[in-house]
Amino acid sequence: MTAGLAATALAAALAVPAQAHGEGRRPHWEPKKTGTDVRFRGLAAVSRNTAWLAGTGGTVLRTTDGGEHWRTVSPPGAQDLQFRDVEAFDARRAVVLAIGEGESSRVYRTDDGGATWTETFRNTDPRAFYDCLTFFDPRHGLAMSDPVDGKFRILSTEDGGRSWNVLPNDGMPPALEGEAGFAASGQCLVSSGRRDVWLATGGAARARVLHSADRGLSWTATDTPVPAGDPARGVFALAFRDRSHGIAVGGDYRADQPSPTAAATTGEGGRCWTPAAHPPPAYRSGVAWLPHSRRAALAVGPTGTDLTTDGGRTWRTVDTGSFDTVDCTPDRGCWAAGEKGRVARLEN
């Protein structure tokens, strides 16, 4: 079976009620024991066998056997940090981001599977608060901070995260009052291809997506239909399967508040966004396209996992477990992670 056909079959199987498959045959999240109660909002899936996790307490875990065993590979002395994003190139090379005001925002890199780490960036501006990382390739990447002096701040690396420079903000449009990013899943800054990158916002009167086609030098901002108007509302996560087709998910992260129109789609690289005709039923913090699929994607949040098989137009809940983030790999490996050490891999 080709990869594309396999992805289509997986999406179709997820969409069919369990009883139609017979016991044990329906694709489902298979929990993987991590041995910790850390909350993992950072997830980098390398393959069906290899994945990295980043979470509270300065915790970084890695598996190379499909989640059967997890090795603690946390940077020394990082126990007071909150890791919210991890980007991995393979089983040995990874970059993690710690969030927070001032010096709490840091970046570390490892080249030996986490045996040793190098701190490659420490924020010294008390006004900055870094939220997310993304890489275009193993050398070129960006990190984003909430607005400083009225504009989002962008860090750039050209050596795989070994060194970082703040980009000029001339090409960044002004931030709205109260606008910020959400460090909820490591997916508020995402890229596709070698130059395109998107930044998700909330907290202001309008939830926006900013797009750059030149690795963060110049940006355009577009309103989305995802609810905003409150510090708890906005776009929390983005996923692009190419430079044109993307999905945005979010809503209101407060458990007692509804999240109507919690998803939107674009087929024009983020120049305009269309609300989902049948969105997820609640706030969602993470989203990922199924590998080799042009129409199937998963969205996750504290109240469940939803599947779309029509490019984000309609969504259906397929699991009610709590997850914060999700990531898929070309070899059809999909992983999810969240609170209380919860990690799972999608199994057939």
One-letter amino acid of 58: G
Q: Are 224 and 248 in contact (CB under 8 A)?
A: yes
**What is the domain range of residue 205?**
3-347
What are the structure tokens assigned to 275, written together? 């609300």
pLDDT 10s digit of each residue in the chain, 348 long?
A: 455 545 555 666 666 554 444 444 578 999 999 999 999 999 999 999 999 999 999 999 999 999 999 999 999 999 999 999 999 999 999 999 999 999 999 999 999 999 999 999 999 999 999 999 999 999 999 999 999 999 999 999 999 999 999 999 999 999 999 999 999 999 999 999 999 999 999 999 999 999 999 999 999 999 999 999 999 999 999 999 999 999 999 999 999 999 999 999 999 999 999 999 999 999 999 999 999 999 999 999 999 999 999 999 999 999 999 999 999 999 989 999 999 999 999 997
Give me the residues paired with residue 233 across strands: 252
pLDDT in the model for residue 109: 98
> What is this structure's pTM?
0.94
Q: Check which CATH number belongs to the domain holding 179 and give it.
A: 2.130.10.10
| Total number of domains in the chain | 1
Three-state DSSP at 317 gives strand
Rounded CA-CA distance 312/9 in Å is 17
Rounded CA-CA distance 305/299 in Å is 6
Q: How far is CA 202 from CA 84, 118, 180, 227, 289, in A?
A: 17, 32, 6, 9, 22
